[in-house]
Chain A
């Protein structure tokens, strides 16, 4: 029974919190009340059985409590009446009421909830924690290990975030036109952070935390339904689907990372590839401005469309990297652009870009810079310099397999000179 209730919670919690926040205009309070309804279910359902419409039961129970709470707090009489009318509640809940609770249009409330949980007034950590709690329905016990912290630290973070939201009077609202894009950027950032937390390999840890990737993908897919005209939402979904499609191929049995061009493409998840390409089409079909997520998805799509690494359309990649470098200039983007230029045009042109990057402090200890430079020098027949670069790169990487491969290349250069 407990597992059934947890599953119902999984499906209903967001709906529930959004619906209650509609009444209370306070997401922190709404979440508390939703939790109270969950506790009531845990107490009552084992005896009464699961109601026919468990979502409506939870909603009605939480709304009752919301009104009790507001009454007890002696909120202004008029407001209470308004709320009572709004919720159309008499006790005990009748069938009609349950049906009404089930049919509440909640898309707007869900959007409000998303924008509130990802409000820029909160620190990034707080936004992420609140999103996992309010929008993914995860418990502190589930959130803590993902961020290598304790349950109580997560609980603290969530309590503080809720307090900040009410103290700064963040309205429970979807931002207006002008503000929308800025605020949407914050939402997309949080979703992508959660995805990357699941996706990127961190030293000593289990490299991929699929639960977080799945939560982020799910949130992205939900958001794409809510804001179908926003290009970047589809762009982010496309990017996540395409990156997730490579999960199986990107680590070796020993847990080391396998670089994209070395991956066995038959192990990509072609269902996700298809979904990613379709989402990218939708991003372009909106006709909206192409942003960094859509461009990055475009890059991922270029690779996804190539049956083998040799088939990669490098010219197209150069074009997209050019766009990305303008929109989101960064040394890492520049380094990737250099690789594409090297493949599409000439190692000479690529080497010029890479040489400029040697002054970048951000890339100081980044093993891919000397590794790329070594590769280009090797192609240009400058074997001595290439060897030195591969050796330097080997010193900078913590991945033992990469290290061995780089030293092997260094040795090959030494042999060829």
Chain B
């Protein structure tokens, strides 16, 4: 299964404080562990919300709102996309995220929808396509 691991913002991250040398080194090691374990699919850090924008939808209207945004605890500072066997495995990896200063932080793990999660109804157009199935020898499809 795939999980998205969401690192919630802190006052420091929202203030644009760069992580300490120590944290950077430990994070690099941790990321390397993830890659070497075949777990890491993608991941990045995000600029503080002061550099971001929101686009608000309401009926036909689209309103663009510049950052920063107030509710720090609900904001994101970074994410990973991991390939794991179970949510428990993701929890174990998450517990290992370095936190040298011991400051309070929250990381949220959210399973990504898989093909199986969509029912039979997902692609009626595929039935249509199949009716036109042509005989191409792409056996390795």
Interface residues of A (CB under 8 A from B): 3-4, 6-8, 10-11, 210-211, 214, 217-222, 225, 243, 246-248, 250, 252-254, 256-264, 267, 271, 275, 296, 299-300, 332, 335-336, 338-339, 368, 371-372, 374-375, 390, 393, 401-402, 405-406, 408-409
Could you jot down 27 A-B contacts, CB within 8 Å? A3-B86, A4-B92, A6-B88, A7-B88, A10-B85, A11-B93, A211-B85, A222-B38, A225-B36, A243-B140, A253-B120, A254-B127, A258-B126, A258-B129, A259-B138, A260-B136, A261-B134, A261-B138, A262-B129, A271-B41, A271-B42, A271-B81, A339-B136, A374-B135, A375-B135, A405-B134, A406-B135
Q: How large is the interface on B (under 10, 10 to 19, 20 to 34, 35 or more residues)?
A: 35 or more
Residues of A within 8 A of B125 (CB): 264
Residues of A within 8 A of B122 (CB): 253
Find B36's partner among A222, A371, A401 (CB 8 Å cutoff): A222
Pairwise interchain contact A372-B38, C-beta atoms closer than 8 A: no
Q: Which chain A residue lies CB-closest to B115?
A: A248
**Is B141 part of the binding interface, using a Cβ–Cβ cutoff of 8 Å?**
yes
Q: Which chain B residue lies CB-closest to A378?
A: B135
Count of inter-chain pairs, beta carbons less than 8 A: 134
Task: For residue B57, give the distance in angstroms from its CB to the closest CB of chain A.
Answer: 23
* Mask of B78-113 contacts with A, CB within 8 angstroms, 1/0: 000101011011011100000000000000000000
| Bound complex: CA A256 to CA B120 (Å) | 13
Given contacts A7-B88, A271-B41, A393-B135, contact A252 B130 (CB under 8 A): yes
Q: Which chain A residue lies CB-closest to B91?
A: A7
Pairwise interchain contact A256-B137, C-beta atoms closer than 8 A: no
**Is B65 part of the binding interface, using a Cβ–Cβ cutoff of 8 Å?**
no
* Mask of B16-41 contacts with A, CB within 8 angstroms, 1/0: 00000000000000000001111101
Residues of B within 8 A of A374 (CB): 135
Candidate in B125, B126, B129, B137 with the most chain A CB atoms within 10 angstroms: B137
Given contacts A252-B127, A275-B41, A300-B140, contact A262 B133 (CB under 8 A): yes
Given contacts A217-B38, A371-B135, contact A253 B127 (CB under 8 A): yes
Residues of A within 8 A of B42 (CB): 271
Residues of A within 8 A of B85 (CB): 10, 211, 214
Pairwise interchain contact A262-B38, C-beta atoms closer than 8 A: no
Pairwise interchain contact A402-B133, C-beta atoms closer than 8 A: yes
Residues of A within 8 A of B55 (CB): none
